[in-house]
């Protein structure tokens, strides 16, 4: 451990500064779990402070869970699961911010479309049309699979009748879909593969099932198949979770070639692919072709999950699943055990909204708006941050995943510094099973930010990187 960058100031007591300095090394993994910290005597000589300062610093590290003292042996580093701590702090930030207060922030954390772009008049007219047509039945109708007319519309409009109606299950958003899959096929100590990094909500679900989570790296065109097959050869795998378009957080889209090879691996090694189709409506690069893995699935190995919440308003929790033939009954039972049914009124409204072709016209309008914001944020990063960072040109979606290439600044420290400047980002530690792996990354979304504020926000980020 190098103390040449340690600087004391009058704002904080010396023992606090020393404790925070050592804590950063522990958090970043530069001091490993169980590694012995420098002796009190050696630190007295190296950083020219008195013995009491070092004792107080080590005591503070112990109190905060970053060290453990062993009588006669010394003080040893202790790695904390600080991902959970950061996640709690991150969540608390938004709980404290009122709707009026959030307007004072440049909010780069958004991952859904902006409410200001939703065609509320069309939505009102569809609600009235449904209530006039169905009356009270719209509020009390229950079907464990979901409203049949909605399922039929999904099959016709989105899948050209290529899937069976009985394979489509309406769910209350993608998160519930992932949870239902996990409850159905994942038992404690089963092996589950996820991309590295991946959606934090999926990690939470698999952890709750006490699964063994194995991460596999992502390349610019999707999962590293060579690395994936090495894992498959050594382990019995239950499922592989992937986001096929504009993966959250990396922004990567899986190429058609990799989708084909992935399906061959699923058949060869007998595991399910859980395809979370995330924001595939928002494609800005015409070279990106929309072909879900499920459309290529002839071996019944893909469980397809699609959320309408990202486009249709986050507050209306609706999505659907298409399940392999052999899992239909089990997935439907898990759904019933979870919440019996999803809002009947909203299912009917969504069905009418899609059937009236409002869905397609709305997504086209959103694509035009967000393409401009996408071009604005990529230009701002390239012009202002330049070679201080790197990122994948996603060609769609609502966010970028940025890697800090220079300096000692990590994403958690950057998040805390920017918050004081009324700028919000998402630290990358939330997307890795081991949070330390995400310290040099942050996600930056542009759905809630206009172009002038995007540029200003990037300038503030540049101050700290």
Residue 141 has pLDDT above 80, yes or no: no
Look at strands 222-223 and 319-322 and give their pairing: unpaired
CATH T-level fold of 120-356: 3.40.640
pLDDT attached to residue 314: 67
What DSSP line would sit under 321-389, residue for residue? Answer: EE--GGGHHHHHHHHHHHHS---HHHHHHHHHHHHTTHHHHHHHHHHHHHHHHHHHHHHHIIIIIGGGE
Q: Angle between the 344-355 and 358-380 helix axes, to the nearest 10 degrees? A: 90
pLDDT digits (tens, 9 = 90+) for 443-454: 999 999 999 999
Number of H helices, E strands in the chain: 18, 16
DSSP 8-state code for residue 119: -
Contacts with 25 (C-beta within 8 Å, 6 or more apart), sequence order: 1, 31
pLDDT digits (tens, 9 = 90+) for 7-16: 888 778 999 9
What H or E segment, with its residue span, contains residue 164?
Answer: none
pLDDT attached to residue 81: 61
Asked if residue 443 lies in contact with residue 431, where contact means CB atoms within 8 angstroms, the answer is yes
* Bond prior to 249 in cis (omega within 30° of 0): yes
284 falls in which pLDDT band (50, 70, 90)? very high
Domain parsing of the chain, residue ranges? 14-77, 82-110+361-464, 120-356
Beta-bridged to residue 42, according to DSSP, are none
pLDDT digits (tens, 9 = 90+) for 233-244: 999 999 999 999
253 falls in which pLDDT band (50, 70, 90)? very high
Q: Give the number of other CB atoms < 10 A from CB of residue 333.
A: 14
pLDDT attached to residue 161: 95
H, E, C per residue of 5-37: CCCCCCCCCHHHHHHHHHHHHHHCCCCCCCCEC
pLDDT digits (tens, 9 = 90+) for 62-117: 887 788 988 888 999 887 666 667 777 777 777 777 666 777 899 999 888 888 88
Please report, rounded to a whole number, the percentage of residues in the chain having pLDDT higher than 90. 66
Please report, rounded to a whole number, the percentage of residues in the chain having pLDDT higher than 70. 97
Closest to 448 (Cα-Cα) out of 104, 59, 23, 37: 104
CATH T-level fold of 82-110+361-464: 3.90.1150
Residue 317 has pLDDT above 70, yes or no: yes
Residue 340 has pLDDT above 70, yes or no: no
Asked if residue 388 lies in contact with residue 70, where contact means CB atoms within 8 angstroms, the answer is no
pTM for this model (two decimals): 0.83
Q: Which residue has the higher pLDDT, 370 or 117?
A: 370
436 falls in which pLDDT band (50, 70, 90)? confident
pLDDT digits (tens, 9 = 90+) for 151-209: 999 999 999 999 999 999 999 999 999 999 999 999 999 999 999 999 999 999 999 99
CA 203 to chain centre: 9
pLDDT attached to residue 300: 96
What's domain 14-77's architecture?
Orthogonal Bundle (1.10)
First-to-last C-alpha distance (Å) of the chain = 23
């Amino acid at each position: 451990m190098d103390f040449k960058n340690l600087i004391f100031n009058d704002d904080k007591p010396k023992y606090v500064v020393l404790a925070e300095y050592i804590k950063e090394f522990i958090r970043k993994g530069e001091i490993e779990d169980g590694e012995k910290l420098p002796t009190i005597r050696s630190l007295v000589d190296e950083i020219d402070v008195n013995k009491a300062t070092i004792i107080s610093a080590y005591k503070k590290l112990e109190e905060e869970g970053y060290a453990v003292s062993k009588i006669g042996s010394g003080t040893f580093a202790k790695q904390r699961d600080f991902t959970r701590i950061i996640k709690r702090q991150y969540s608390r930030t938004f709980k404290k911010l009122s709707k009026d207060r959030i307007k004072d922030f440049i909010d780069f954390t958004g991952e859904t479309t902006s409410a200001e772009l939703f065609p509320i008049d069309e939505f009102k007219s569809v609600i009235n049309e449904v209530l006039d047509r169905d009356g009270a039945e719209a509020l009390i109708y229950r079907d464990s699979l979901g409203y049949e007319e909605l399922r039929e519309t999904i099959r016709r409009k989105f899948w050209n009748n290529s899937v069976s109606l009985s394979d489509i299950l309406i769910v209350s958003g993608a998160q519930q879909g992932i949870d239902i899959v996990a409850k159905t096929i994942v038992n404690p100590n089963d092996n589950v593969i996820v991309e590295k990094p991946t959606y934090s909500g999926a990690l939470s679900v698999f952890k709750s099932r006490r699964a063994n989570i194995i991460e596999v790296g992502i390349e610019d065109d999707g999962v590293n198949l060579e690395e994936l097959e090495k894992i498959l050869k050594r382990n019995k795998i239950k499922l592989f979770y992937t986001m096929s378009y504009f993966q959250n957080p990396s922004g990567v889209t899986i190429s058609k070639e990799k989708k084909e090879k992935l399906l061959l691996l699923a058949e060869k090694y007998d595991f399910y692919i859980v395809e979370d189709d995330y924001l595939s409506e928002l494609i800005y690069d015409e070279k990106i072709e929309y072909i879900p893995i499920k459309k290529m699935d002839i071996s019944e190995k893909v469980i397809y999950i699609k959320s309408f919440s990202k486009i249709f308003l986050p507050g209306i929790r609706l999505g659907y699943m298409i399940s392999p033939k052999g899992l239909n009954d089990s997935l439907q039972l898990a759904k019933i055990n979870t919440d019996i049914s999803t809002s009947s009124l909203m299912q009917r409204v969504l069905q009418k909204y899609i059937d009236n072709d409002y869905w397609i016209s709305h997504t086209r309008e959103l694509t035009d708006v967000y393409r401009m914001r996408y071009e604005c944020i990529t230009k701002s990063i390239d012009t202002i941050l330049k070679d201080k960072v790197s990122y994948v040109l996603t060609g769609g979606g609502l966010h970028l995943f940025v890697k800090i290439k220079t300096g000692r600044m990590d994403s958690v420290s950057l998040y805390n510094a920017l918050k004081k400047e009324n700028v919000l980002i998402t630290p990358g530690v939330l997307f890795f099973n081991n949070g330390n792996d995400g310290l040099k990354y942050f996600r930056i979304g542009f759905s809630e930010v206009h172009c002038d504020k995007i540029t200003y926000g990037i300038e503030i980020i540049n101050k700290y990187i």
